[in-house]
Structure 1
Amino acid sequence: MRRWNDRMLKTKMFISFSIVSLFIVGITCMIFYFTNRDDIKNQTFSLSKIISRQFSEMIDLYMHNIEELSLAISIDPAIQGNLFDFYKASNPIEKETVGFRLNPVLFNFSYPKSYVQSISIYTLDGHLYQYSKIDKPKPPITFTNEELRSFTEVFSSKPFILIPSYKEEAPEEQSANVVSFVRKITKIPTQTIIGFVSTNINVNAFNMILTNTKASEIENSMHVLIISDEGQVIFENGSHLMGSSRSVFDASLFKRSISEGELKWKDTQYLYTFEKSGYTGWNTVILIPKNVILLKQKRIQDIVVIVGMITMLLIAVVSYILSHQIMLPLNNMMRKMSRVELGDFNQRMEYTGKNEIGRLSRMYNLMLDSISRLIHEVYESKLAEKNAQLSALHAQINPHFLFNTLNTMKSISRLRGIEEVAEISESLAGLFQYSMRNLHQPVTLHDEIEHIGNYFKIQQHRFGNRLELHFDIPAELLHASILKLTIQPLVENAVNHGLRRMKAGGSIAVRAFRHGGELTITVTDNGEGINKLKWTHLHDTLEHSNALNHIQDVKHGIGLLNIHQRIQLFYGKQYGLRLYSKPVEGTTVTLVIPFIAVKQGEDEIAQ
């Protein structure tokens, strides 16, 4: 056991696989010897049934095409018109003239169809008009008046009659067995029978259908027969006895409840299956010689032995591939760990197996997640420290004291009639009251707009009619959730940096619209704009901001980066600010956040 444990992994796999494969091959050969014969026989019956069913269905489809052709002939206006002329004719010459007119019409129907040997038109009194592809056809076999009358009775219950194969009279080199497809010709629109059309099909065309079947492994040995219920062989692949008196099959076979078994045909023992067509009434019989089954059994036995030998040769390759598959994820993990060592913490293992390597991969991913979480916690602690410093600065001025003082100023100003001072004090008090709430608590878009209104009232006392503020916000968006103090600073930036030098005509437009699950808010001014160098700096700062680079734009007074990072921290990296500006034309700041509707009453509770 000790020496076994000291062996290489590839050696262990080779020896183990060799013993197992030899055992499996031996047991398989023994089981195959006792059970293979019946299995092959059952498989042959199953395959034969499939072939007979497929071939029967193909013949049905083939005959459907013939039915469509005969229908087209029966309703053709030229055929109908010439038959009317025949019945109107009073002498034999006029009747023969009808035949000359029918000949090109029948030619047009039969020429494109290679399987059509000839087309015959019968009148009710037994007169025949025929077009044949045979160069010098002998006089055709015509139907008697009794047969035509019997056709009329049959057509009352079925649309067509199939006459089994017979040899059409022709020169020896052009002779062929044909099947006649007979249907009535009815007068349109009265549906009165005025004649019959017989489409004669060359049964050799069935060979083309047979070559399309998917039984290529046994097509050289199997026999395909189409047999009527009376036992007449309509078609047999490779045979010239079709339709003759010698080609008679035991019709009692089709009366049995079992459609498979063994029989003797032409001094050869066969396995047979048959399928009866509900469309044509013919029986498709598949015959497979029994000696082919024995040869197939021996061939499979030889294959099993060869496969066993090949299996032994492939064991070395399989053991090598398996060991390689084991080492592949380990090597992949080593490469990813090297990248993590260089600072790339996005390297994750994608191995999802439940074995040891899968568990090792999950532990590796959990370790990287823990490291990333610790880095994020350090960033949040840094951010909390900066917020604490800002709060300390705010705490130096008591906002409640300022708020109460402004309310006192408002009351005294109104008592003494100084309405302008009272209005400024009221707006400023509103600004302080809005700012005293929790900065991180979301508010409704309606509250933020009211806050912008208080701010702009104060600015109007400063700038007069030089500035205008316009809102284009649908009513259904007023209850959207938004972080506090994200829009008002953008309006303040527009006033202080975009419009401060304009003597008149200054305009700020605040618009909001919803696109899918996102809420987009734009603040646009028609001021002096931002020069290209400064715009590039601001744009790059917003695009590449991160937690350790929280730099405020001191020159502009209000930190766009501060708002941008607050939005990304709260909603995710895919949201934030976008800046667009052209000198002289103005500036547009776009704010994108997810659309979250606040139900009525929730914003009041939050306040």
Structure 2
Amino acid sequence: MIKWFNNLNIQIKLVITYSGLILLPLLILGVISYYISAGTIETQAIQFSNKIVSQINRNLDYNIKEMERISLTPFSDPDVQMVLRKSAYHNDLEKLRDRQIMDKTLFNLITLRPDIMGIYIFPQHSSSNQEVYYRTNGYSMRDDYDLTKELWYPLVLWADGKKVLLSTHYETQPIHSPRKVFSLARQIKDVDHYQNLGFILIDANLKIIQEICENSNFGQNGKIMIVDQHGNIVYHTDETKIGAKLEPKFQQFLSNQNINRMLKIAGEKMLVSSAVSAYTHWTVIGMIPLAELNRSTILIRNITIFIGLICLLLGVIVSIFIAKGISNPIRKLQRLMSQAEQGNFNLQMKLDHQDEIGQLTHSFNIMITKIKELINTVYDAQLVKKEAELAALQSQINPHFLYNTLEVIRGIAMTNKITSIVDISKSLAKLFRYSIHKEMEYVTLAEEIAHVKNYLTIQKYRYGDKIEVIYQIDEQILKQKSIKLILQPLVENAIYHGLETKIGKGRIEISGYQEAQDILIKIRDDGLGMSREQLDSLSQAMNSDQKWINDSKQTNLGIGVMNVNSRIKLHYGNNYSLKIESEPNKGTTVIIRIPALV
């Protein structure tokens, strides 16, 4: 690890060091604050959960106490007491009058609360449903209903006038499809003699409990369960569990005290809180997923991480700024040294420091200055030598072309006496003007092509239709610059050494295009070609820096090729030159490679 750190550059070392010094305190502070906030939020969640289940219990108590007050009406209403004391009727009119009294009383009671589904009064002396008084939300009881067969009947008898809460069940024997309700029942006692006069049963819609639970805001994914003292589920957020028995793991919550536990329910860890009502003896159990409780904790953690990352980012930026102030001069000095290694000595580093880096910079500048002076001395000597060689090369353009041209002009003038001599003279004038114009060291490829065409115009009168010339030049390269007189000598060479002695017609193809940063021009003829020995000898002469003149004479392959090749090397360097491909009786291709210069 230490070795790896030591191998890093200075800037990275400084950035890592500063970042570590910033990140470590932030990490410690973030972890401590996270655990403190997590504990606080958990305590607050337990308090909140206890408050909610207690509030649900209070709301349930209030609603059930209202039902109890309704159930006490037969005790305080003398008309109801009078009707229930009767064991028989003298006539139907009396019976009808009593039913009207009971119907009116039940109507007034059922309208007190919209959630009451039905109120039933069973007289002690009744023997059939015809003698049962009831008021419901638009339905009638079955004729075969038997009160004594209800499971709650003995409980009401045993309570002896006290209220009995009945857990969730279906409505009391309606003709239509029954709905889920919970009920309150009790015996009706004679207020004078405390004798049993009958029973009252009140069915309340279970939705009133559902509304109380839903309005409690017990978390987005929280669940509420209400259980009676016998372990029957009165209400559950999951409706499929209503009316079922309480699972064994929840039995501990039926004690007469509030309990908070962490339980795993359906694979999810939850905080379970309970509150027992002293009035109903029902237990409200609330369940909140731990993930929901930790939402605030996770938010605090994410905010802490975000702030930490921002601080770390700012620290890294500051450390990079400081590190660059130290490392940049060293890296700049390193880059300049690399350029000097590549042969660039036209550089000096600005001296901005007076420390050790400044001393290194000063020494480097002195070293570069001395090296440059030495190079300039050698360069000046070599430049004089190269200029002399270049002048010699440019003066060696083959003069026999001039003589041949003049011979053509003379022959045409003497034998044909035609105006074509004007074309030859004009082309010849352009050739001379282009060749001897010393100020035009660099020309465009378009001018080089025009020079070739002037030359071929003259040759056309000598060879007639024997030579066909095809141009395939990419127009995009016509504006590229090159040294002059690199094409015409090669075309001339193709004619005299390839096509002149060939039997039949011959062809010259001149093509040009750009390849990456270079310009490639190919001059191909289908003439006699060269043998392998001739090609190797010529290639060896072209690659030589000292013997090209002698070799060109010995090979007798034309000064033009050697002239052009040497001039290209002198102007553009050894990476640019001619390449020759040839096969006997198939022709020769000369490939010119020069840099793209506009």
Same fold per superposition (TM over 0.5):
no
What TM-score do the two structures reach when normalised by structure 2? 0.42
Which of these two proteins has the greater Rg computed from alpha carbons?
Answer: 2
Q: Which has the higher contact order (CA 8 A, sep 6+)?
A: 2
